Amino acid sequence: MSDLDAYRAKSRAWLESVAPTFGKDARRGLSVEDDLALGRRYMAAKFDAGFAGINWPTEWGGQGLTHLEKITFDSEEMQFGMPVGYFGISLGMPVPILMAHGPDKAWAKERVIKALRGEEIWCQLFSEPAGGSDLAGLRTRAVPDGNGWSLTGQKLWTSWAQYCDYGVIVARTDPNVPKHKGLTYYWVDMKAPGVEVRPIKLAGGDSHVNEVFFDDVKLTDEQRMSPVGGGFAVAMHTLMIERYIATDSGGFGPHLDLFIDLSRNVEVNQKPAIEDGRIRSAIARNYAMRSGLEAITHRAMEMMMAGMQPGPEGSLNKLVAVRSRQKLSELAIDLQGTTGLAFDPHAFVKEDWTASWINAPTGRIAGGADEMLLNTIAEKILGLPQDHRPDKGVAFNQIPA
């Protein structure tokens, strides 16, 4: 047995031991608040068992292992439906950025450990009503105020902001230069005076995204995480991580095995659907696609292990995985006939095809809409020329609003 196989066995044994307390069966029927409380307990148990921050340095409370061990544990954990969704954004992007760019290491270390234990949650405050996929078009502004800054504006689609303690935010500090050059990156206390969070109810019935308003929120200069005007580079570092964190090969929908099980149990032309050539072709295409995406992710993890930054190939992950999840979910609903139309707002997206389908459009917008990902693939991977951009090189305050 290889070291990785031994680690997988160790991970699964621990997960099986705690699944009756924290797994999907224990979560059924819980309110969001109770489920979050259960999630905090699970994160603390995970930390104590040595499965938190698996690939993070030990000085930051991690285990000092590789990305391969992390992927191994995550693939096992995913099967049990543990209450980890509340912490995915927090530990996936803002906290790693805090580790890399936090100005006060002692303070940052305390925040990182509390985040790993589920005691504190971070959000990522990027998108705005006028600056969604075009992050550089944002209008939230931070102006000098004494020895610090005053933050005013609005962010949109911020996941779990209503439960967050801190967030990372990009704001415009100089409107007199081209839009990419006038941005600065900060962390913000989500409980500070002037911060207001309003949940948004989605089509699937949940309210995990929010709009957040900032009204003269005071920031010290110690909360600045980039050079003044250098925030876009840190934002791009965040998004490069997101392309790998914010999806899996199934687009966070049901596992392909569940579709195979369904196709064995429903009929097409009085025969099991799995005997239909079109269904078998769909299974084969999805298997090949998911295997390809997993290879891209594996390559990116190897790059990060070697101290390199992951490349733009992550855009393929998000674009293809969520699109294919939506199509496969639609096919699964069609195979079920009228029974496929029954909608349970409390169903788990990773095990219910109807819930997966109705929530898939959110995944195609969050973290970069399809159109922006296609541009990235065209320009950064295929080397095609850029689209004409009339605002390129123009001062932000000269761009027609």
301-358 pLDDT tens trace:
677 667 676 677 778 888 899 999 999 999 999 999 988 888 887 788 888 999 999 9
154 and 190 in a single domain? The answer is yes
With a pLDDT cut of 70, the percent of the chain lying above it is 96
Asked whether residue 177 is domain-assigned, the answer is yes
Measured CA to CA in angstroms, residue 387 lies from 88, 312, 396 at distances of: 34, 17, 19
Asked whether residue 373 is domain-assigned, the answer is yes
Structural domains counted in the chain: 3
List, for residues 359-372, the tens digit of each pLDDT value. Answer: 898 888 877 788 88
User: Cα–chain-centroid distance for residue 351?
Assistant: 19
Whether the pLDDT of residue 128 is over 50: the answer is yes
204 and 273 in a single domain? The answer is no
DSSP state of 137: G
Instruction: Please compute Rg for the chain using Cα positions.
Output: 22
Work out the average pLDDT over 11-40: 96
The pLDDT-based confidence of 246 (bands split at 50, 70, 90) is very low
Asked whether residue 179 is domain-assigned, the answer is yes
Task: Tell me the average pLDDT of the chain.
Answer: 91
Cβ-contact 54, 63 below 8 angstroms: yes
Measured CA to CA in angstroms, residue 148 lies from 169, 224, 343 at distances of: 15, 9, 50
Measuring CA to CA, which residue among 182, 199, 94 is closest to residue 141? Answer: 182
DSSP state of 380: I
List, for residues 46-91, the tens digit of each pLDDT value. Answer: 999 999 999 899 999 999 998 778 888 988 998 899 999 999 999 9
Whether the pLDDT of residue 382 is over 70: the answer is yes
Question: CA 317, CA 250: separation in Å to the nearest integer?
Answer: 9
Asked whether residue 112 is domain-assigned, the answer is no
Three-state DSSP class for residue 374: helix
Asked whether residue 353 is domain-assigned, the answer is yes
Tally the C-alpha atoms within 13 A of residue 46's C-alpha that lie toward its C-beta.
34
Cβ-contact 168, 186 below 8 angstroms: yes
DSSP state of 81: T
Residue with tokens 């309003």: 198
Cβ-contact 89, 159 below 8 angstroms: yes
**Residue 347 belongs to domain with CATH number:** 1.20.140.10
pLDDT of residue 172: 98
pLDDT of residue 304: 66
285 and 338 in a single domain? The answer is yes
206 and 297 in a single domain? The answer is no
Measuring CA to CA, which residue among 101, 64, 58 is closest to residue 223? Answer: 101
More confident: 329 or 391: 329
Cβ-contact 155, 216 below 8 angstroms: no
**Three-state SS across 104-135?**
CHHHHHHHHHHHHCCCCCEEEECCECCECCCH
311 and 355 in a single domain? The answer is yes
9 and 43 in a single domain? The answer is yes
* Least confident range of 101-115, 180-194, 218-232: 101-115
Where is the domain boundary, 235, 270, 290? 235
Cβ-contact 218, 209 below 8 angstroms: no
Structural domain of 165: 122-235
Rounded to 10°, the helix 3-22/67-77 angle is: 40
Asked whether residue 95 is domain-assigned, the answer is no
Asked whether residue 273 is domain-assigned, the answer is yes
DSSP state of 250: T
284 and 326 in a single domain? The answer is yes
Asked whether residue 398 is domain-assigned, the answer is no
289 and 373 in a single domain? The answer is yes
The pLDDT-based confidence of 149 (bands split at 50, 70, 90) is very high
207 and 301 in a single domain? The answer is no
Where is the domain boundary, 235, 264, 285? 235
| Tokens representing residue 342 in the block | 């029954």
User: Cα–chain-centroid distance for residue 305?
Assistant: 20
pLDDT of residue 376: 85
Cβ-contact 206, 149 below 8 angstroms: no
Where is the domain boundary, 67, 83, 99? 83
230 and 274 in a single domain? The answer is no
How many of the other CB atoms lie within 10 Å of CB of 392? 10
**Residue 188 belongs to domain with CATH number:** 2.40.110.10
Question: CA 401, CA 396: separation in Å to the nearest integer?
Answer: 10
How many of the other CB atoms lie within 10 Å of CB of 398? 10
45 and 7 in a single domain? The answer is yes
19 and 78 in a single domain? The answer is yes
